[in-house]
A and B are shown apart, each in its own frame.
Chain A
């Protein structure tokens, strides 16, 4: 049943699998570069895609601590769990030039670098990733001190969220109250509905921009059965979480135990490579460095992601404040799960599991927290 009335915020419609390509073409017609999941280097990554054939159709992933493998499974477009990298690089650039200074007889002039802002449509944003974007908003889009490039990219971005149909072994979004169902912050939200007789998408409208795109899609009215089926997808995923993190009293558990022996224990396994911070969708730390041309005429101020795991990160005259790996791991985990509440009123973790999957030595943030908790339990 074709209707043309499904264009209000909060309304839902059904998009047939055979019409999915129209979602991409409609976004492209609106001037958006569609950034979506695709397979590169043996992993699902988010990159600009031209058409649906580039999606990881019929692929899923197996994730464990220090392990990631793709494998064939079914026909789903969004059957994988979480991409190797979040949407962070698309909003908060890993490296960019802030400004350029040119020397002259008078001294120097500073020119702001004006970049063409990409109009991006993110296809397949998961609930944990949506929460992570909201968390980064509170840091980088703070009206008092905005990260100007982030704010501009964020304003231009269209978000097509997807409810997770499968939980990975390193997922714990339920513990962090960050998924697996998307709740807010999207323009359109999809739930992939697959059974023996159908392959459709329930499309929920979350914003005026989303409504204007939805109005141009061949949506049919969603029945109560469609909505129930979508809810069942989310609840089954929630029941399949691979990991849990007990957050009760976690803030004080970490803040009150900076000298716990577990920090030395994890330091013996941690390579301080910084993978967890770069894979983390909320880690925001960055650095600046000046790059000067060899003739000394032009100096660029560059900003790039940084990691609290590097020795240089805390360097002041006299040496690094955190020379030990134990103190660096403690800084990262305590910041993420505890200090973030003092700074921004929320946790800095969304339970996406990337820090566990992409740690080369398989360190598991949920296990580290549990180890500290268990050691303090009164028997």
Chain B
């Protein structure tokens, strides 16, 4: 084997500093971080993820949900469910965090130019799509219509509520929200997100659909889009699998022949339609 200089070890995290940590819902937090190794730029494409490390707790894959036009500030939204993610909840400004990334594929926002873009988000799935929404809004003139559909379990689990209101009021953009279970104050829609898909205004022949949410929600959303005549190749979903290295050699994220960490997480539906139909793949 020929001898060659070893590249920088991709398993070594870079150190970042927490700028701000905001509680979004009862169990979900959004925190922004900035690099402290002098390299302020952290370029990423909407849909990519980082491996975030918390000293003494461990490392987890988390999608980037900030604005790609602000590469100096990395933003992630995390639901506190495991030992590492629960520790994210108590992060405060100045705390240190390790970052490896960015990794993976991205939403095809450039390829969607000229037609309609449909965002279908369920629950925490809005976070990986928010970076794409920022990019779409920044280049709004390049798209015919931008439609954002969001489904949450209940009104108190709605993420980015203020931003959703802003997007809804923005001309040229349509933004609809539904909840599975309403409370006494909820005046919006109640029901599953597929109902929103059926009523949304877009051209099934000229739309790119970006879907992220629980796998069951993505399955039904895909079925609803297909019944309207949207082609498999125009539908893109973001998958979640166990990940340890994010480099395509720990093997944990395998989904049939795909490594979700590097072939995904964003994948065109036509590439995975058969695989999604296999139980326990």
- Listed in ascending order, the chain A residues whose CB lies under 8 Å from chain B are 98-99, 101, 103, 106-110, 112, 137, 139-143, 145-148, 151-152, 154-155, 255, 258-259, 284-290, 292, 296, 299, 301, 303, 306, 308, 313-317, 321-324, 326-327, 331, 335, 338-339, 341-343
Residue among A106, A145, A313, A339 making CB contact with B257, cutoff 8 Å: A339
* A-B CB contact pairs (8 Å), 8 listed: A101-B55, A107-B95, A108-B15, A146-B10, A287-B250, A306-B250, A314-B241, A321-B242
Interface: B1 (CB within 8 A)? yes
| Complex CA–CA separation, A341 to B12 (angstroms) | 30
Inside 8 A of B203's CB, which chain A residues have their CB?
Answer: none
B residues 1-60 near A (Cβ < 8 Å) are 1, 3-4, 6-7, 9-13, 15, 17, 55-59
- Evaluate whether A299 and B252 lie within 8 angstroms (CB atoms) in the complex, with A107-B15, A110-B15, A343-B257 already known: no
| Complex CA–CA separation, A347 to B227 (angstroms) | 39
Known: A322-B280, A331-B254. 18 other contacts (CB 8 A): A98-B9, A101-B98, A108-B55, A110-B12, A112-B9, A112-B12, A137-B1, A151-B6, A258-B281, A284-B249, A287-B244, A288-B11, A299-B56, A306-B252, A316-B242, A317-B81, A338-B257, A342-B258
Q: Would B55 and A342 count as touching, CB distance under 8 A?
A: no
- Evaluate whether A288 and B241 lie within 8 angstroms (CB atoms) in the complex, with A112-B9, A327-B279, A342-B257 already known: no
Q: Would B1 and A314 count as touching, CB distance under 8 A?
A: no
Write the nearest CB–CB distance from B45 to chain A, whole angstroms: 17
Inside 8 A of A335's CB, which chain B residues have their CB?
Answer: 254
| Complex CA–CA separation, A306 to B242 (angstroms) | 13
Residue of B nearest to A327 (CB): B280
Interface: B88 (CB within 8 A)? no
Q: Would B1 and A139 count as touching, CB distance under 8 A?
A: no
Q: Would B251 and A308 count as touching, CB distance under 8 A?
A: yes
Interface: B158 (CB within 8 A)? no
- Evaluate whether A286 and B1 lie within 8 angstroms (CB atoms) in the complex, with A151-B6, A314-B241, A321-B242 already known: no
- Evaluate whether A141 and B1 lie within 8 angstroms (CB atoms) in the complex, with A110-B98, A255-B256, A316-B240 already known: yes
Write the nearest CB–CB distance from B89 to chain A, whole angstroms: 15
- Evaluate whether A285 and B278 lie within 8 angstroms (CB atoms) in the complex, with A141-B1, A314-B241, A343-B257 already known: no
Interface: B188 (CB within 8 A)? no
Residue of B nearest to A147 (CB): B249
Inside 8 A of B249's CB, which chain A residues have their CB?
Answer: 139-140, 142, 145, 147, 284, 286
Inside 8 A of B10's CB, which chain A residues have their CB?
Answer: 145-146
Q: Would A154 and B1 count as touching, CB distance under 8 A?
A: yes
- Evaluate whether A321 and B241 lie within 8 angstroms (CB atoms) in the complex, with A99-B11, A314-B252 already known: yes
Q: Would A148 and B9 count as touching, CB distance under 8 A?
A: yes
Inside 8 A of B241's CB, which chain A residues have their CB?
Answer: 314, 316, 321
B residues 212-249 near A (Cβ < 8 Å) are 240-242, 244-245, 247-249
Write the nearest CB–CB distance from A70 to chain B, whole angstroms: 33
Q: Would B12 and A339 count as touching, CB distance under 8 A?
A: no
Q: Would A321 and B280 count as touching, CB distance under 8 A?
A: yes
Write the nearest CB–CB distance from A160 to chain B, whole angstroms: 15
Residue among A137, A147, A148, A327 making CB contact with B281, cutoff 8 Å: A327
Inside 8 A of A258's CB, which chain B residues have their CB?
Answer: 278, 281
Inside 8 A of A342's CB, which chain B residues have their CB?
Answer: 257-258
Considering only CB atoms and an 8 Å cut-off, how many residues of chain B contact the other chain?
43
Inside 8 A of B59's CB, which chain A residues have their CB?
Answer: 288, 290, 301
* Max chain A Cβ within 10 angstroms of own Cβ: one of B58, B250, B280: B280
Residue among B15, B250, B259, B262 making CB contact with A288, cutoff 8 Å: B250
Q: Would B96 and A108 count as touching, CB distance under 8 A?
A: yes
Write the nearest CB–CB distance from B127 to chain A, whole angstroms: 14
Interface: B171 (CB within 8 A)? no
| Complex CA–CA separation, A315 to B244 (angstroms) | 11
| Complex CA–CA separation, A313 to B250 (angstroms) | 10
Q: Would B250 and A155 count as touching, CB distance under 8 A?
A: no
Inside 8 A of B4's CB, which chain A residues have their CB?
Answer: 143
Residue of A nearest to B2 (CB): A155
Residue among A155, A287, A322, A331 making CB contact with B3, cutoff 8 Å: A155
Write the nearest CB–CB distance from A36 to chain B, whole angstroms: 20
Q: Would B259 and A343 count as touching, CB distance under 8 A?
A: yes
Q: Would A339 and B256 count as touching, CB distance under 8 A?
A: yes
Q: Would A110 and B56 count as touching, CB distance under 8 A?
A: no
| Complex CA–CA separation, A109 to B262 (angstroms) | 28
Write the nearest CB–CB distance from A242 to chain B, whole angstroms: 29
| Complex CA–CA separation, A296 to B57 (angstroms) | 10
Inside 8 A of A142's CB, which chain B residues have their CB?
Answer: 248-249
Write the nearest CB–CB distance from B60 to chain A, whole angstroms: 10
Residue of A nearest to B95 (CB): A107
Q: Would A259 and B278 count as touching, CB distance under 8 A?
A: yes
Inside 8 A of B278's CB, which chain A residues have their CB?
Answer: 258-259
Write the nearest CB–CB distance from B33 to chain A, whole angstroms: 12
Q: Would A339 and B254 count as touching, CB distance under 8 A?
A: yes
Residue of A nearest to B249 (CB): A139
Inside 8 A of A303's CB, which chain B residues have their CB?
Answer: 11
| Complex CA–CA separation, A320 to B252 (angstroms) | 11
Residue of B nearest to A251 (CB): B257
Inside 8 A of B96's CB, which chain A residues have their CB?
Answer: 106-108
Write the nearest CB–CB distance from B42 to chain A, whole angstroms: 17
* Max chain B Cβ within 10 angstroms of own Cβ: one of A141, A145, A154, A316: A145
Residue among A287, A296, A306, A323 making CB contact with B56, cutoff 8 Å: A296
Residue among A140, A296, A317 making CB contact with B82, cutoff 8 Å: A317
Q: Would B6 and A152 count as touching, CB distance under 8 A?
A: yes
Q: Would B251 and A285 count as touching, CB distance under 8 A?
A: yes
Q: Would B55 and A299 count as touching, CB distance under 8 A?
A: yes
| Complex CA–CA separation, A49 to B37 (angstroms) | 46
Nearest 6 pairs between A and B by C-beta? A107-B96, A285-B251, A342-B257, A327-B280, A145-B247, A339-B257
